Amino acid sequence: MTARPRACAANRRAEEADLCQVRAIHPEQVEAVRQSLLPFESAMRTAALFAVLNDPTRLQVLFALLHAPAGELCVCDLAAGLGRDDTTISHQLRVLRTHGIVGLRKAGRVVYYRLIDDHVRQLLELGLAHASEPAGGPAAVSHGVEVSA
């Protein structure tokens, strides 16, 4: 019989630190949770949006479109600016277009893309602001309670 590694015990203690030490139900808190419960379908749609945004190349494409001087960019300019090949950028734009985040305009044989979802625009700006804050900064405190990552 082999001894359990110490790391397992340490991990277990860390996990237990995140749990209540006693089981106490607060009826008013439970009711508040139930009243504000996010419906499953809304949770699924929101999770799908965040899944689309959960790709570094896609985020780079979106930020490039967000800051495009003319409000739109063609695939070639996006690819050159991001140092990626046209096929990769085209694929990412297709995913974003399928989800209604970007739109396109054809001018002859050139295709221009633009960000068309203002909610995503706001998410990008908030996400960048959040990611730019130093660890332990204002974003690490929520409602007077310190939040650790």
Give the pLDDT band of residue 9 (cuts 50, 70, 90): low
Question: How much is the pTM?
Answer: 0.71
pLDDT in tens, 34-84: 899 999 999 999 999 999 999 999 999 999 999 999 999 999 999 999 999
- Cα separation, 32 vs 98, whole angstroms: 36
In this model, does residue 10 exceed pLDDT 60? Answer: no
- Which string of b and e fits 73-97 if b means at least 16 CB within 10 Å? bbbebbbeebebeeeebbebbebbe
In this model, does residue 2 exceed pLDDT 60? Answer: no
Asked if 79 contacts 85 with a C-beta cutoff of 8 angstroms, the reply is yes
What does pLDDT average to over the chain? 85
HSE value, Cβ hemisphere, 13 Å, CA-based, for 68: 22
pLDDT at 142: 52
Q: Show the domains of the chain with their CATH numbers.
A: 55-121 (1.10.10.10)
- Cα separation, 60 vs 89, whole angstroms: 10
Give 92 or 21, the one with higher predicted confidence. 92
The rounded percent of the chain whose pLDDT value lies above 90 is 66
pLDDT in tens, 111-129: 999 999 999 999 999 999 9
The distance of Cα 97 from the centroid of its chain, to the nearest Å, equals: 17
